[in-house]
Amino acid sequence: MFAMFNAMGVAVALIPVLNRLAFRFGVVAKPGPDRPHATATPLLGGVAIMAGFALAIWLFGSSIAVPNLRLAWMLTFAALLFAVGLVDDIVELRPRVKLFAQVVIIVLFAAWGPQLDLLPYHWMNVALTIFWLLTTTNAFNLIDGFDGLAAGVGILSALSVAAIACLHGHQATMIAAASLAGALGGFLLFNLPPASTFMGDEGALSVGLILGILSIQASHNGVGSWPARFAVPMLIVMVPILDIVTVTMTRLATGAPVSRRGLDHSHHRLFRLGLTGARATATLAALQAIASGCAIFLTVIPGYEVVLMIPYIAIMFALVALFLMDRSFATESPGLTVDLPVVARFLLSAGYKRRVVEVMLDLMLACAAFSGAMLIRFEFEVPPRVVAEMLTTLPAVLLATCTAFVLTGVYKGIWRYSGVAEAVRFAASAMIAGGLTWGLSSLSDFAIPRAACLVFVILLFNLLLATRWSFHVFDRIVRMLASSGHRIVIVGADARGQAAVMHLFNARNSGAGNSGSDLIGVIDDDSFKRGKLFHGYPVLGSISAIEEIFQRTAFDEILIAQQDLRGAQLDSLRSFAIERGLDLRQFSLDVTDISAPRGNDRPAAIAFNAAALAHKG
């Protein structure tokens, strides 16, 4: 705690001085497409972060009973990368030059510093460590796009490392992580929107390297199981890793250069979905908090139980990544894109046509359902012997599940449009998978109990529903968090009202029509419906109470979906819209025969629109 507050105090004291120096020497970020600030902003916040971090380590690292040279190694190489970033902020280095400097510094560190120990040979672990540190360094730099985002995520990551080190008695790692969290906390006070300072490349690159090193050390602090050592580092920096993975994959799939600057990062995607910068930052920080909690959890449970928990954690974050990737094709179907390079065509074919990603996710579902069934069967105390036997039976479970999914046509559906028919198919596939699993396991050394097979069927069905409907859930959460400034109420809580709700939902997802509108509720004269939820939206009251409803929750547009309104009701809505200056529109759902000759028929069209009844009175 002393180290953390010391680092925070140093950062808070230095930033005002550094801001004045930045303006004097022109080390500022000028407004631009990726910098929405109206004025130039100082770029020397990283100097304060590193100064607070270094001073805290120097003061409190020396108090450790057993000296640890890892702190000195970490500080030295972070300082070298800090210097590269500072030069880039001042004179703007070429990307190749900056990347070359990063590679040299990280290779030197990996040769003597702590390394990932996941592979059987030392040289493999060194290569993996270099790749990991390059990834975390640049991933953290890339999320530094909104005020408070990089600092907030960094604080949560550092605190999770400090908690892991504290639980396992590793003082050096704990002091380093607490110092970094404190320095970032002091910087965050000046980086909250509207930010008065940025950390710059000197701060983002060095902090990314430090977090990568700390994540390696944290993986050594747990109970020592291989799955935990693999999962913990990724969970500690989950938000930056998710961002760099989604950006890289979607750029490859759309034929865009991977190395270019762009506005397609996770925070930009959330912003385009209607979230404000502050809400996008809070959403990603909450996601990192969940990941950090999972990392701490995996280091305190026995290694054999980690094997049973990892599938659930992997599914959760894989769904978030898939949702963010899918946003790249919200307005243009992947099958309609043309003139793409070979790599892009291969990725789109594998992901959307061949459903390779979906199959991989379903393998995780089978693992999760199997693990959950055995956890419930043994009351969450599965003996290590049983876990080992489960792993020998797992290939049979995966084979049975994939066979059942193919036989029942699970891969014929489209996630975004999953409905009741798909739910019935999921139930059938889960039952067939359970029967095949029980049959195959009875031929092996580990026969799965019938009760466990029944639980496996139930869990598999629910996991299928959860994954296929996850995009609907994420869309609903995004709509709840989004703020467009244009608010709509629908008149009519009936079948046509349902169609109107879906029309607005699809328009928002596709970026067309009323894509910038928020539906706040439904108006209906049926008193039994008042206070109920209509497709997740409240029934606010009757048409006669529209004045009272407007006073409670203001709106900008009235969309009439109900078809049997009386003339007096339409007149009252029109008068209210004119008086308040609101949009009044009629939702129309028509199908017209276009096979008849045009001259003898009304204008041929198939319409599914919201036609204007009156506009601004």
Instruction: Say which amino acid occupies 157.
Output: S
pLDDT exceeds cutoff 70 at 335:
no
pLDDT exceeds cutoff 90 at 231:
yes
pLDDT tens digits along 452-500: 999 999 999 999 999 988 888 888 788 778 765 688 999 999 888 888 8
Higher pLDDT among residues 603 and 297, named by residue:
297
Q: Which of 308, 336, 364 is the last residue of a domain?
A: 336
Q: Within this chain, do residues 234 and 263 fall inside the same structural domain, yes or no?
A: yes
**Of the ranges 160-174, 326-340, 347-361, the best mean pLDDT one:** 160-174
Q: Within this chain, do residues 185 and 245 fall inside the same structural domain, yes or no?
A: yes
CB 524 within 8 A of CB 539: yes
Q: Within this chain, do residues 215 and 134 fall inside the same structural domain, yes or no?
A: yes
Q: Within this chain, do residues 323 and 392 fall inside the same structural domain, yes or no?
A: no
Q: Within this chain, do residues 54 and 202 fall inside the same structural domain, yes or no?
A: yes
CA angle 606, 611, 614 (to 5 degrees): 160
CB 225 within 8 A of CB 303: yes
Alpha-carbon distance values, 607 to 375, 603, 613 (Å): 53, 11, 16
Residue 348 lies in a domain: no
Q: Within this chain, do residues 330 and 378 fall inside the same structural domain, yes or no?
A: no
Instruction: Say which amino acid occupies 352.
Output: Y
Residue 349 lies in a domain: no
Residue 175 lies in a domain: yes
Structural domain count of the chain: 3
Higher pLDDT among residues 614 and 457, named by residue:
457
Residue 306 lies in a domain: yes
pLDDT exceeds cutoff 60 at 607:
no
Q: Given this model, what pLDDT does residue 274 score?
A: 76
Q: Write the DSSP assignment of 111-127 as a string of letters.
A: HHS-----SSSHHHHHH
pLDDT exceeds cutoff 60 at 47:
yes
Q: Within this chain, do residues 513 and 442 fall inside the same structural domain, yes or no?
A: no
Higher pLDDT among residues 138 and 442, named by residue:
138
Range of the domain at 421: 355-473
Q: Given this model, what pLDDT does residue 611 score?
A: 43
% of the chain beyond a pLDDT of 90? 46
Q: Within this chain, do residues 378 and 437 fall inside the same structural domain, yes or no?
A: yes
Paired tokens of 521: 């509720």
Q: Within this chain, do residues 388 and 525 fall inside the same structural domain, yes or no?
A: no
pLDDT tens digits along 346-356: 777 777 666 78
Q: Within this chain, do residues 435 and 368 fall inside the same structural domain, yes or no?
A: yes
Q: Given this model, what pLDDT does residue 35 score?
A: 64
> Which of the 8 DSSP states describes residue 35?
B
Q: Given this model, what pLDDT does residue 516 score?
A: 58
Q: Given this model, what pLDDT does residue 606 score?
A: 38
| CATH classification of the domain holding 514 | 3.40.50.720
Q: Given this model, what pLDDT does residue 602 score?
A: 45
Q: Which of 473, 507, 526 is the last residue of a domain?
A: 473
Higher pLDDT among residues 72 and 1, named by residue:
1
Residue 129 lies in a domain: yes
Contacts of 231 (CB under 8 A, 6+ apart): 295, 298, 306, 310, 313
* Helix, strand, coil percent values for the chain (each to nearest 5): 70, 10, 25
pLDDT tens digits along 183-228: 999 999 999 988 999 999 999 999 999 999 999 999 887 656 788 8
CB 295 within 8 A of CB 236: yes
Q: What is the arithmetic mean of pLDDT over 147-157? A: 95
How many Cβ atoms from other residues are within 10 Å of residue 73's Cβ?
A: 16
Give the 3-state secondary structure of residue 223.
coil
Instruction: Say which amino acid occupies 221.
Output: N
pLDDT exceeds cutoff 60 at 510:
no
Q: Write the DSSP assignment of 562-601 as a string of letters.
A: -S---HHHHHHHHHHHHHHT-EEEEEEEEE---SS-GGGS
Residue 350 lies in a domain: no
Q: Within this chain, do residues 408 and 498 fall inside the same structural domain, yes or no?
A: no
Higher pLDDT among residues 255 and 245, named by residue:
245
Q: Given this model, what pLDDT does residue 303 score?
A: 80
Q: Mean pLDDT for the chain?
A: 85
Q: Given this model, what pLDDT does residue 288 score?
A: 97
Residue 595 lies in a domain: yes
Residue 533 backbone dihedrals phi, psi, to 5 degrees: -105, 130
Burial profile 261-280: b = 16 or more Cβ within 10 angstroms, e = fewer: ebebbbbbbbbebbbebebb
Q: Which of 473, 493, 510 is the last residue of a domain?
A: 473
Q: Within this chain, do residues 492 and 379 fall inside the same structural domain, yes or no?
A: no
What's the pTM? 0.83
Residue 341 lies in a domain: no
pLDDT exceeds cutoff 60 at 78:
yes
